């Protein structure tokens, strides 16, 4: 089977840095993706790591270590609008699997 584990909730203050971890057990793993979903909205794609290492996109960075079956999403200079759920996703072939999501709560 395939599974991705991530914390259910993370809290932080505005302006801080927060890391959301994701560990996975998947067969035929192709890479790790991250999505953001605001309450009542649709998931939107944030980043994808096919290779080990860090990918940076503005305030967001994502990291993958295949040897450790582990990745994380790093959010810097947190803003109130970053309060949302974040999902990691991976899998094999055409069958993506999503983690259960991490609810990020940003406090003023």
Alpha-carbon gap, residue 16 to 55, rounded angstroms: 19
Q: Tell me how far, at minimum, the Cβ of 49 lies from other proteins, in Å.
A: 9
- The residues in 50-89 that bind other proteins, with binding defined as CB under 8 A, are 50, 87, 89
From 7, 21, 48, 66, residue interacting with other proteins (rule: CB under 8 A): 48
Evaluate whether 75 touches 63 at the Cβ level (below 8 Å).
no
Residues that bind other proteins (CB under 8 A): 8, 30-31, 33, 35, 41-45, 48, 50, 87, 89-91, 93-101
């Amino acid at each position: 089977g395939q599974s991705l584990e991530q914390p259910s909730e993370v809290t932080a203050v505005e302006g801080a840095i927060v890391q959301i971890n994701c560990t996975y057990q998947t067969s035929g793993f192709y890479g790790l993706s991250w999505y953001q979903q605001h309450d009542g909205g649709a998931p939107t794609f944030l980043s994808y790591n096919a290779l080990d290492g860090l990918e940076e996109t503005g305030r967001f960075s994502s990291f993958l270590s295949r040897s450790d079956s582990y990745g994380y999403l790093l959010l810097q200079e947190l803003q109130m609008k970053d309060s949302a759920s974040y999902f990691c996703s991976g899998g094999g072939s055409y069958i993506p699997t999503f983690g259960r999501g991490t609810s990020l709560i940003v406090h003023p």
